[in-house]
């Protein structure tokens, strides 16, 4: 499968950034927004899809996954989520 045109990727990246920084939970906004500010230009279609799906998860559940308070659901245990958790761990 070929990579979408750059304009489509740029649009998806901008939408993802907005959604990640306007979730309603300040902690998730900081975690996701900080990660995306640092890595947005390097994310490719599979990463964007995984992160878009992740943004559908309710904030409390997502916060527990990001901070390690709860195990990540198998369907969301993607390389993109692992990168976010690794970035948090420093």
| pLDDT recorded at residue 1 | 56
Tokens for 79, please give them.
């390389």
75 lies in which domain range? 6-89
The CATH number of residue 51's host domain is 1.10.150.250
pLDDT at 63: 94
Total number of domains constituting the chain: 1
- pLDDT for residue 61: 96
pLDDT value at residue 74: 95
54: tokens are 């992740």
pLDDT score of 90: 75
Q: Is residue 76 part of a domain?
A: yes
Chain-centroid distance, C-alpha 61? 14
Residue 60 is assigned to a structural domain of this protein: yes
Long-range contacts of residues 6-10, Cβ cutoff 8 Å, at least 24 apart: 9/44, 9/45, 9/48
Query: Is 77 a member of any domain?
Result: yes
pTM: 0.83
Query: Would residue 74 be called left, alpha or beta, if left means φ above 0 and alpha means ψ between -120 and 50 degrees?
Result: alpha
pLDDT of residue 54: 93
Per-block mean pLDDT, blocks of 10 residues, the chain (90 long):
69 94 92 94 90 94 94 93 90
**Does residue 1 belong to any structural domain of this protein?**
no
């Amino acid at each position: 499968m070929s990579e979408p045109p750059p304009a489509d990727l740029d649009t998806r990246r901008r939408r993802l950034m907005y959604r990640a920084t306007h979730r309603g939970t300040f902690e998730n906004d900081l975690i996701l927004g900080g990660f995306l500010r640092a890595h947005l230009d390097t994310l490719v279609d599979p990463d964007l899809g995984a992160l878009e799906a992740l943004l559908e998860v309710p904030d409390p559940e997502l916060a527990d996954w990001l901070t390690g308070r709860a195990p990540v659901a198998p369907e969301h245990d993607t390389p993109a989520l692992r990168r976010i958790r690794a970035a948090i761990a420093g």
